Amino acid sequence: MSVEAGAPPILEVEGLYTYIATGDGVVRAVDGVSFSLRSGEILGLVGESGSGKSVTCRTIAGLMPSPPAQSVGEVRYAGYPGHNLLGLRASEQQRLRGAHVSMVFQDPMSALNPVMRVGDQIEEAVGAHARLGARDRRRRAIELLDRVGIPAPARRLRDYPHEFSGGMRQRVLIAVAIASNPRILLADEPTTALDVIIQDQILSLLLELQRDSGMSMILVSHDLGVIAEMCDRIAVMYGGQIVELADSRALLTEPRHPYTISLLRSLPDATRKTRYLQSIPGTPPRLVDIEPGCRFATRCPLATPECATWETELLTAPGGAHLVRCRRHDDARRPEAWPKQSYESE
């Protein structure tokens, strides 16, 4: 990990809300999210589908369509001191994206233009934030394809996205994202549709690029194994909220939120005596007409009647750097506090 010692935050998100109008009502997709990102840090956002991870990143990047989406809160970037990124005009957001904050999407086939040659798309990204002639743009595009591991880059510039494999398309998308050397990279489930070997290659590439450039990164994933391997800190999201935020080692070895603990227990473990994985009962909450109280209460084995009405907030656990949204976070650490569960034997 390459976090600069004592580095001030390069990005601060405070009280971020994103509402999306739908036919069923207003979805509170992001609900009071706050965190900071330091220079050179990789922060992981992990949680089930629909927890708000991707919408958080898209809101930061100014990519949520308005309407139907509406965002409020503070997003402060060190490169734009004194400005709330949510309040920038569309033209200012356009200048910010790519040059300072860039995003890698989970589906490269839909993110890339299928009727444009790959070289033209990379050159367009290069030229968006630098005044270069055609020859220099082409040279830079070749350098970027070579940097992300595309063989014969000069020849592949003439190909279309459908002529690349899934892993190679993701590499092209990464080349577009780093074309202007951004200071912050938002990687939204960049390996979702790839097989395990290609996943590892793409993650290794992202880590190498991050270390070489010193950029900061927010990595979104539903895979705790990926997050544990890549990230300096981890934020666990549930129901549009961050429910736990801590240093990676602390969160993985001393988790305090019942949801985080349940996620870790659901991972395969060769030391367990049973061949059955532990699952989390129930389903995530609908984010329309949300009731007060803990979002996880209906699925939590430690829930009490008070949890259903508790005004949830991030509490500071002993040590000061571990935040958790649970009134029983001390009890959650004690195995004896959890009800006994029976598992089907072999």
Are the beta carbons of 49 and 222 closer than 8 angstroms?
yes
- DSSP for 64-104 reads S-TTTEEEEEEEEETTSTT-BGGGS-HHHHHHHBTTTEEEE
Q: What kind and span of H or E run contains 101?
A: strand 101-104
pTM of the model: 0.92
CA 213 to chain centre: 19
Is the pLDDT score of 147 beyond 90? Answer: yes
Q: What percentage of the chain reaches a pLDDT higher than 90? A: 70
- The CA radius of gyration of the chain, in Å to the nearest whole number, is 21
The CA distances from residue 63 to 79, 86, 233, 256, 322, in Å, are 19, 11, 25, 33, 30
Overall average pLDDT of the 328-339 stretch: 90
Q: For 1-100+182-339, which CATH superfamily applies?
A: P-loop containing nucleotide triphosphate hydrolases (3.40.50.300)
Q: CA–CA separation, 147 vs 332, rounded Å? A: 46
Overall average pLDDT of the 171-180 stretch: 95
- Of 11-25, 277-291, 311-325, give the range with the top mean pLDDT: 11-25
The 10 Å Cβ neighbour count of residue 33 is: 24
Residues of the chain with CATH 3.40.50.300: 1-100+182-339
Overall average pLDDT of the 12-36 stretch: 95
Cα angle vertex 60, ends 59, 61, to 5°? Answer: 90
Question: What does the pLDDT look like over 78-123, one tens digit per residue?
Answer: 999 989 999 999 889 988 998 899 999 988 888 999 999 999 999 9
- Residue 64: strand pairing partners: none
Tokens 């991870």 correspond to 53
Query: What strands lie across the sheet with 241-247, from one edge to the other?
Result: 101-104, 184-188, 216-221, 42-46, 233-238, 241-247, 323-324, 315-316
Q: Long-range contacts: 272-279, Cβ < 8 Å, 24+?
A: 274/343, 274/344, 274/345, 274/346, 275/346, 276/343, 276/344, 278/341, 278/343
253, burial (CB in 10 Å: exposed 0-12, middle 13-18, buried 19+): exposed
